[in-house]
Amino acid sequence: AEVAKTYAKAGAHVILVARTVGGLEEIDDAIQAEGGQATLMPLDLLKMEELDKVGPTIAERFGGLDIFVGNAGMIGTLGPLPHSKPKEWQKVMDVNVNANYRMICTIDPLLRASSAGRAIFVTSGIGNKVQPAYWGSYAVSKAALSAMAMTYAAETAKTNLRVNMVSPGPVDTAMLNEAFPGKLPDGTKKPEEIMDAFLELAATECDKHGTVMDLD
């Protein structure tokens, strides 16, 4: 939500994707209050076949796409790896990895056609840590997302497209509060405090490619 509001304030027409219309309308109201523009696209990322229609729909409606931010994610139930329930494990993989894969497939032609296409994925340092922290499915999914983004970057090195990642560290979001109801002892960052990274990676003059902006 904060990324969308920040981009809209910078002059972008943003396309908001989320499951609930109410949540989308709340962000849209905030964007319009600042004089920005947004289009709402209610969509459940777990409905993979619906994701395949995103690229053609954007092409028909807007004629192109310059920036994609893959930020949706879920933690799943924290606990030992052997105790993970297969259905929930699959759900975490689908939201954190497979949905991003399907989005890459459907919007890749639009990003490559842009004079300054940008793909930005939100990863986590947890994906680089092998430790008994009970974040099994989340850690594995973020490691997979990072590998996928790096592969996509390598494959687009000779194009105008720039593919990068942001590893924001602990940010005060509903998802983090779900995992740590008592708050983290070292504190968290507010979403607005990390927006410079998203603005930098979306800028037409950005020359970073295949990098991770680690804000932790």
Sequential pLDDT tens for the chain (216 residues)? 999 999 999 999 999 999 889 989 999 999 999 999 999 999 999 999 999 999 999 999 999 999 999 998 888 888 888 888 999 999 999 999 999 999 999 999 999 999 999 999 999 877 666 665 677 888 899 999 999 999 999 999 999 999 999 998 766 666 655 655 556 556 677 889 999 999 999 999 999 999 999 987
122, 175 contact by CB (below 8 A): no
CA 47 to chain centre: 17
Q: Give residue 175's pLDDT.
A: 64
For 114, counting Cβ atoms within 10 Å of its Cβ (0-12 exposed, 13-18 middle, 19+ buried), the class is middle
Q: What is the pTM of this model?
A: 0.90
The reported pLDDT for the residue numbered 178 is 61
Q: Which residues contact 76 (CB under 8 A, 6 or more apart)?
A: 84, 88, 89, 91, 92, 137, 138
Under 8 Å between Cβ of 71 and 95: no
pLDDT at 173: 63
Enumerate the active-site residues: 138
- C-alpha torsion sign, points 161, 162, 168, 172: negative
* Amino acid, res. 215: L
Instruction: Report the SS3 class of residue 202.
Output: helix
Joined together, the tokens standing for residue 159 give 């194009």
Helix/strand/coil for 165:
strand
Specify the pLDDT at position 190.
87
Q: Please give the Cα distance from 215 to 114 (Å, whole number).
A: 28
Residues 142-170, buried b or exposed e (16+ Cβ, 10 A)? bbbbbebbbebbeebeeeebbbbbbbbeb
pLDDT number for residue 160:
95
Q: What is the pLDDT of residue 83?
A: 87
pLDDT value of residue 180: 58
Q: pLDDT at position 151, please?
A: 98
